[in-house]
A and B are shown apart, each in its own frame.
Chain A
Amino acid sequence: MESKISISNLDFYYGKAQALFDITLEIPERQIVAFIGPSGCGKSTFLRTLNRMNDTIPIASATGTVMIDGEDIYAPGTDVVALRRKVGMVFQKSNPFPKSIFDNVAYGIRINGIHNSKTDLAERVEKALIDAALWDEVKDRLNTSAFGLSGGQQQRLCIARALAVQPEVILMDEPASALDPIATQKIEELVVELKRKYTIVIVTHNMQQASRVSDRTAFFMLGKLIEYNPTQKMFTNPDEKLTEDYITGRFG
Chain B
Amino acid sequence: MEHRIIDQQLDLLRDKILLLGGTTEAAVHRAMQSLVTRDSELAKKVLEEDKVIDQMELEIDRLSIEILALQHPAAHDLRFVISVAKITPILERIADHAGSIADAALILNNEPQMNNYIDLSLMAEIAAGMLRTALDAFTAEDSKVSRDVIELDKKIDVTYRKVFNELLELMIDNPSATTGAAHLLFVAKHLERIGDYVKDICELNVYLREAAFIKHSPRVEAPQ
Contact with B along A221-236 (1 / 0, CB 8 A): 0000000000000011
Indicate which residue in A207, A236, A247 contacts B79 across the interface (CB closer than 8 Å). Answer: A236
Docked-complex contact A251 and B74, CB < 8 angstroms: no
Contact with B along A10-30 (1 / 0, CB 8 A): 000000000000000000000
Contact with A along B1-32 (1 / 0, CB 8 A): 11010100000000000000000000000000
Docked-complex contact A250 and B2, CB < 8 angstroms: yes
Contact with B along A48-91 (1 / 0, CB 8 A): 00000000000000000000000000000000000000000000
Docked-complex contact B74 and A235, CB < 8 angstroms: yes
Smallest beta-carbon distance A88→chain B, Å: 31
Docked-complex contact B1 and A237, CB < 8 angstroms: no
A244 is an interface residue with CB less than 8 A from chain B: yes
Smallest beta-carbon distance A237→chain B, Å: 3
Smallest beta-carbon distance A169→chain B, Å: 28
Interface residue count on the B side (C-beta < 8 Å) = 14
A96 is an interface residue with CB less than 8 A from chain B: no
Tell me the bound Cα distance from A247 to B210 in angstroms.
Answer: 18
Q: When A and B form their complex, what is the total count of cross-chain residue pairs whose Cβ atoms lie within 8 Å?
A: 38
Tell me the bound Cα distance from A251 to B6 in angstroms.
Answer: 13
B72 is an interface residue with CB less than 8 A from chain A: yes
A208 is an interface residue with CB less than 8 A from chain B: yes
Docked-complex contact B78 and A244, CB < 8 angstroms: no
Indicate which residue in A208, A237, A248 contacts B211 across the interface (CB closer than 8 Å). Answer: A237
Interface of chain B residues 31 through 77 with chain A (CB within 8 A) = 72-77
Docked-complex contact B6 and A236, CB < 8 angstroms: no
Indicate which residue in A236, A251, A252 contacts B75 across the interface (CB closer than 8 Å). Answer: A236
User: Which of A245, A247, A252 has the most CB atoms of chain B within a 10 A radius of its CB?
Assistant: A247
Indicate which residue in B1, B79, B210, B211 contacts A250 across the interface (CB closer than 8 Å). Answer: B1
A238 is an interface residue with CB less than 8 A from chain B: yes
Indicate which residue in B6, B79, B211 contacts A249 across the interface (CB closer than 8 Å). Answer: B6
Indicate which residue in A208, A236, A244 contacts B72 across the interface (CB closer than 8 Å). Answer: A208
Give every chain B residue within 8 A of A245 (Cβ-Cβ).
1
Q: Which residue of B lies closest to A211 (CB)?
A: B74
Docked-complex contact B1 and A207, CB < 8 angstroms: no
Interface residue range, chain A: 10 to 19
Smallest beta-carbon distance A219→chain B, Å: 12
Docked-complex contact A249 and B75, CB < 8 angstroms: no
Indicate which residue in A237, A243, A248 contacts B73 across the interface (CB closer than 8 Å). Answer: A248
Give every chain B residue within 8 A of A207 (Cβ-Cβ).
74
Tell me the bound Cα distance from A243 to B2 in angstroms.
Answer: 15
Docked-complex contact B4 and A250, CB < 8 angstroms: yes
Indicate which residue in B1, B2, B4, B75 contacts A235 across the interface (CB closer than 8 Å). Answer: B75
Give every chain A residue within 8 A of B4 (Cβ-Cβ).
248-250
Give every chain A residue within 8 A of B210 (Cβ-Cβ).
237
Assess A248 versus B74: contact at CB under 8 Å? Given A236-B79, A236-B211, A237-B79.
yes
Give every chain B residue within 8 A of A244 (Cβ-Cβ).
75-76
Assess A236 versus B2: contact at CB under 8 Å? Given A208-B72, A248-B73.
no
Tell me the bound Cα distance from A211 to B75 in angstroms.
Answer: 12
Give every chain B residue within 8 A of A243 (Cβ-Cβ).
75
Assess A247 versus B2: contact at CB under 8 Å? Given A237-B79, A237-B211.
no
Docked-complex contact A247 and B74, CB < 8 angstroms: yes
Tell me the bound Cα distance from A235 to B78 in angstroms.
Answer: 9
Smallest beta-carbon distance B80→chain A, Å: 10
Q: Which residue of B lies closest to A247 (CB)?
A: B74
Tell me the bound Cα distance from A43 to B15 in angstroms.
Answer: 39
Tell me the bound Cα distance from A209 to B76 in angstroms.
Answer: 19
Tell me the bound Cα distance from A248 to B79 in angstroms.
Answer: 12
Give every chain B residue within 8 A of A250 (Cβ-Cβ).
1-2, 4
A-B contact pairs, 7 of them (CB 8 A): A236-B75, A236-B211, A247-B75, A248-B73, A248-B74, A250-B1, A250-B4
Q: Other than the known A236-B78, A250-B2, what 9 A-B pairs have Cβ atoms closer than 8 Å?
A: A235-B75, A236-B75, A236-B211, A237-B79, A238-B75, A245-B1, A249-B2, A249-B6, A252-B2
